[in-house]
């Protein structure tokens, strides 16, 4: 892995673990599961 890839992964992790995004992701996953998609 390059330094850039590691940095990108770190930023992505912070974005995903932030509260608002986490709630939205849970809603999307919930809809996908409930819809059978």
pLDDT for res 3:
94
Helices and strands per DSSP (H, E), number in the chain:
2, 0
Is the sign of the CA dihedral 15, 17, 23, 26 positive or negative? Answer: positive
Number of domains in the chain: 1
* Residue 13 belongs to domain spanning: 1-35
Mean of all residue pLDDT scores within the chain: 82
pLDDT for res 37:
54
Mean pLDDT of 1-15: 87
pLDDT for res 36:
65
Can you give the pTM of this predicted structure? 0.43
pLDDT for res 30:
87
């Amino acid at each position: 892995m390059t330094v850039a890839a590691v940095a990108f992964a770190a930023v992505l992790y912070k974005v995903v673990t932030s509260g608002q995004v986490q709630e939205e992701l849970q809603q999307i996953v919930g809809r996908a599961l409930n819809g059978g998609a």
